[in-house]
């Protein structure tokens, strides 16, 4: 057989049938469900008199709307409450496993899937959420879908798809201390642009990617969609297998041995052909900060806000001008002179235990700067929160002046009460700096957890490496 | 789904790249558990001068006169003209539902985000991808009072009121579904035997997946 990429292998293994024009019926192994993009899909099933094809493939959790404070009192916003209750009811009606809002295992859908071992190497994983690309970190084919497709997977366990092209993003070398997975992926997006990966599945490879923990790989694959690629992925290695071992949904005994043997084939063959190859030197990547309203609008922390007058493409220059006006920034401003009002550490990109440890290491022994009105830490799941508390990270954050919240999507997209007011500026570990994303008129700067923590204690953006030990 | 028929319409030029789905329908409106009623909140933050919340009477809200959708000359338009990477970001199909609920049946752009494109086809909105130079020409033409395009999906052809014919490409299966107004779940369920055969094979090869 010809040399195949990881994506080719995952695709081939899930083809139910292919039409002569290439349209393919693709089988889905794992379907993750949350409250925002599923109600209309369940309603569609009911109206057509259909039932889910295989309920054991589905795991549901409310995350977008849930409050991060006083949760035992329920959800104050009646519209949010109805949406969460609708998910609860749909799961009861159709016999679907759900981790309810007050379950210790509840959390952001893209944190709990891997945490539970519900995401496994070699799977196809879908969810009505674009950041489903996260799960590709396990050598899985994982991508976000719309609500009509959610209904389609519920009813048929399949999706009608056309195969994407293959892109390899290779990051070789060693990262400088203080530079993280988030900085790698922001640098990649800065290089190829937010549409650079459109039509592709991206495999992230190279020694710098192999050196990352699973948390770091998830951060990178999470933001593949911010580069336009529906799916991002990383080959399976020992790090992957060690992470999965012993998790509640992971295979056991004979199944485990058989699975691990199969998983070690989940890498691109030598000589496999990619349609596009992008190469980055890990050692050259510096901590990244976005300045605009698209993740591709990013520079290193020692850089300056760019000048639209220097941009040759008139459409891009106009986009930059609109972004600067929205962000309240002048061209040429040093990134270090930008002073956030809020700091948000959380989201499906950066709310796992390693992210919280990295932020706590910077915060330890320091105080949140007086100009920061609010600094939030929102762990990705109840289990991450529990683990962090066992390690004493909550005390470090609280003593520094951070708020320590209950898990959920929170201020990444501000569907619950956690949001910016117009004009407020936020150093955020999330994934999107779009207009209004964190609250109407809110201004978002995307950074790594360590850089967000550094901004919190310094009161402005600063290279975390200059802060030294706390 | 309603069958997609030939129609003629004005064209609204929305001149910004990377229009994301957060901009098309802001998050506070995603709390609805229905598929309809999103039209009044399409482009909410650009379209109105106040802050939008679910359940408001949008007809009483102050409009932003500078936003293109609010210009009377484009009233009733069913074709939206956009720039690169239209529909990027969140997978929310609510963005497509907001566009169709408002009355749009076609979006023309030089490129679309992948998830938005598939959501659009599923909900009866035709995404037409044209070369950047052609899109640029349409942006110029759409400034003229009375400019219209006729969309013929069957012929894969746009015809302008000035007589220009612009062919476009579209996936054959998606075109068929739109023209016939087909429910593709029903089509897939016709392959149920194939799906079961696949599952049987996989249960042997990879039993840990079941």
Which one of A40, A155, A294 has the shortest CB-CB distance to B18? A294
Q: Which residues of A touch B198 (CB under 8 A)?
A: 16, 27
Question: Distance between CA B203 and CA B210 in Å, rounded?
Answer: 7
Residue reference for tokens 């207009």: A435
Q: Which residues of A touch B113 (CB under 8 A)?
A: 195, 198, 228
**Does the beta-carbon distance from A25 to B16 stay under 8 Å?**
no
Report CA-CA distances (Å) from B195 to A33, A143, A153, A437, B200.
22, 20, 12, 40, 9
Residue of B nearest to A84 (CA): B31
Give the tens place of pLDDT for each residue, A295-319. 999 999 999 999 999 999 998 999 9
How near does any CA of chain B get to the CA of A94, in Å?
17
- What pLDDT is stored for residue A470 in this prediction? 47
Higher confidence at residue B61 or residue A73?
Answer: B61
Residue of B nearest to A297 (CA): B18
Tokens of A283: 């050692």
CB A458 within 8 A of CB A451: no
Q: Does domain B7-182 have CATH number 3.40.1350.10?
A: no
Average pLDDT, whole number, for chain B? 96
Q: Is A258 on the interface with B (CB under 8 A)?
A: yes
How near does any CA of chain A get to the CA of B93, in Å?
5
Give domain limits for chain B.
Answer: 7-182
- What pLDDT is stored for residue A468 in this prediction? 66
Which one of A16, A50, A148 has the shortest CB-CB distance to B93? A148
**pLDDT at residue A374 above 90?**
yes
The three-state DSSP-derived secondary structure of A438-456 is CCCCCEEEECCHHHHHHHH
Strand partners for A24 = A18, A161
**pLDDT at residue A409 above 70?**
yes
Label residues B158-170 b or e (16+ Cβ within 10 Å = b): bbbeeeeebebeb
Residue reference for tokens 């060693």: A174
Give the tens place of pLDDT for each residue, A99-117. 999 999 999 999 999 999 9
Q: Is A137 on the interface with B (CB under 8 A)?
A: no
Q: Which residues of A touch B32 (CB under 8 A)?
A: 79
Q: Which residues of B touch A322 (CB under 8 A)?
A: 16
Give the tens place of pLDDT for each residue, B149-178. 999 999 999 999 999 999 999 999 999 999
Give the tens place of pLDDT for each residue, A256-270. 999 999 999 999 999
* Residue to test with chain A: of B84, B86, B90, most A Cβ within 10 A: B90
Query: Cα B36 vs. chain centroid, distance in angstroms?
Result: 15
Q: Which residues of B touch A158 (CB under 8 A)?
A: 188, 191, 195
How near does any CA of chain A get to the CA of B188, in Å?
7
Phi/psi for A107 (5° steps) reads 170, -170
For A:182-201, CB contacts with B below 8 A are 194-195, 198-199
- What pLDDT is stored for residue B1 in this prediction? 80
**pLDDT at residue A73 above 90?**
no
Give the tens place of pLDDT for each residue, B100-143. 999 999 999 999 999 999 999 999 999 999 999 999 999 999 99
pTM for this model (two decimals):
0.97
CB B89 within 8 A of CB B20: yes
- What pLDDT is stored for residue B183 in this prediction? 83
Of B93, B29, B124, nearest in space to A128 by CA: B93
Which one of B18, B92, B206 has the shortest CB-CB distance to A194? B18
- What pLDDT is stored for residue A13 in this prediction? 98
**Does the beta-carbon distance from A415 to B30 stay under 8 Å?**
yes
Question: Distance between CA A341 and CA A373 in Å, rounded?
Answer: 5
């Amino acid at each position: 057989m010809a040399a195949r990429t990881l994506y080719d292998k995952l695709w081939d293994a899930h083809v139910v049938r292919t039409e002569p024009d290439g349209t393919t019926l693709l089988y889905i192994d794992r379907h993750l469900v949350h409250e925002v993009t599923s109600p209309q899909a369940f309603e569609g099933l009911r109206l057509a008199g259909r039932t889910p094809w295989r309920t054991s493939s589905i795991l549901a959790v409310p995350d977008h709307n849930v409050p991060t404070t006083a949760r035992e009192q329920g959800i104050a916003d009646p519209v949010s409450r109805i949406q969460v209750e609708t998910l609860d009811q749909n799961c009861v009606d159709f016999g679907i496993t759900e981790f309810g809002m007050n379950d210790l295992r509840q959390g952001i859908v893209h944190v709990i899937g891997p945490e539970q071992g519900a995401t496994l190497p070699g799977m196809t994983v879908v969810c009505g959420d674009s950041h489903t690309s996260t799960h590709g970190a396990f050598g899985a084919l994982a991508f976000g879908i719309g609500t009509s497709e959610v209904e389609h997977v519920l009813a048929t366990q399949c999706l009608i798809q056309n195969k994407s092209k293959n892109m390899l993003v290779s990051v070789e070398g060693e990262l400088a201390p203080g530079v993280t997975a988030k900085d790698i992926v922001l640098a990649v997006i800065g290089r190829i642009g937010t549409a650079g990966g459109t039509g592709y599945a991206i495999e992230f490879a190279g020694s710098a990617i192999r050196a990352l923990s699973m948390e770091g790989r998830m951060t990178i694959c999470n933001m593949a969609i911010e580069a336009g690629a529906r799916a991002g992925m990383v080959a399976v290695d020992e790090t992957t297998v060690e992470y999965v071992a012993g998790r509640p949904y992971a295979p056991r005994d004979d199944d485990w041995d058989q699975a691990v043997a199969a998983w070690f084939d989940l890498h691109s063959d030598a000589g496999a052909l990619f349609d596009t190859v992008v190469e980055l030197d890990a050692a050259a990547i510096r901590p990244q900060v976005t300045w605009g309203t698209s993740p591709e609008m990013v520079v290193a922390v020692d850089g300056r806000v760019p000048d639209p007058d220097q941009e040759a493409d008139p459409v891009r220059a106009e986009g930059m001008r609109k972004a600067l006006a929205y962000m309240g920034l002048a061209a040429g401003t040093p990134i270090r002179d930008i002073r956030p009002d809020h700091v948000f550490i959380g989201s499906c990109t950066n709310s796992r235990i390693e992210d919280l440890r990295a932020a706590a290491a910077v915060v330890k022994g320091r105080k949140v700067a007086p100009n920061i009105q609010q600094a939030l830490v929102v762990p990705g799941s109840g289990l991450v929160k529990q683990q962090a508390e066992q390690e004493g990270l909550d005390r470090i954050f609280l003593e520094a002046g951070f708020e320590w919240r209950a898990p959920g999507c929170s201020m990444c997209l501000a569907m619950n009460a956690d949001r910016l007011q117009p004009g407020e500026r936020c150093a955020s570990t999330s994934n999107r700096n779009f207009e209004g994303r964190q609250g109407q008129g809110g201004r978002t700067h995307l950074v790594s957890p360590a850089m967000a923590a550094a901004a919190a204690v310094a009161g402005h953006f600063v290279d975390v490496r200059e802060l030294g030990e706390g | 789904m309603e069958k997609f028929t030939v129609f003629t319409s004005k064209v609204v030029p929305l001149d910004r790249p990377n229009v994301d789905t957060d901009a098309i329908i802001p998050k506070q409106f995603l709390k609805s558990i229905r598929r309809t009623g999103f039209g009044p909140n399409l482009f909410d933050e650009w379209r109105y001068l106040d802050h939008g919340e679910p359940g408001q009477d949008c007809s009483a809200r102050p409009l932003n006169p500078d936003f293109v959708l609010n210009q009377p000359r484009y009233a009733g338009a069913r074709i939206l003209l956009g720039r690169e990477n239209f529909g990027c970001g969140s997978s929310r199909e609510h963005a497509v539902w907001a566009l169709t609920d408002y009355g749009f049946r076609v979006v023309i752009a030089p490129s679309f985000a992948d998830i938005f494109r598939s959501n659009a086809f599923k909900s009866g909105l035709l995404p037409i991808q044209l070369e950047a130079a052609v899109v640029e020409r349409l942006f110029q033409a759409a400034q003229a009072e009375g400019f219209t395009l006729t969309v013929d999906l069957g012929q894969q052809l746009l015809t302008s009121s000035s007589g220009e014919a612009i062919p476009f490409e579209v996936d054959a299966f998606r075109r068929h579904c739109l023209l016939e107004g087909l429910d593709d779940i029903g089509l897939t369920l016709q392959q149920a035997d194939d799906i079961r055969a696949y599952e049987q094979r996989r249960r042997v090869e990879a039993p840990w997946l079941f």
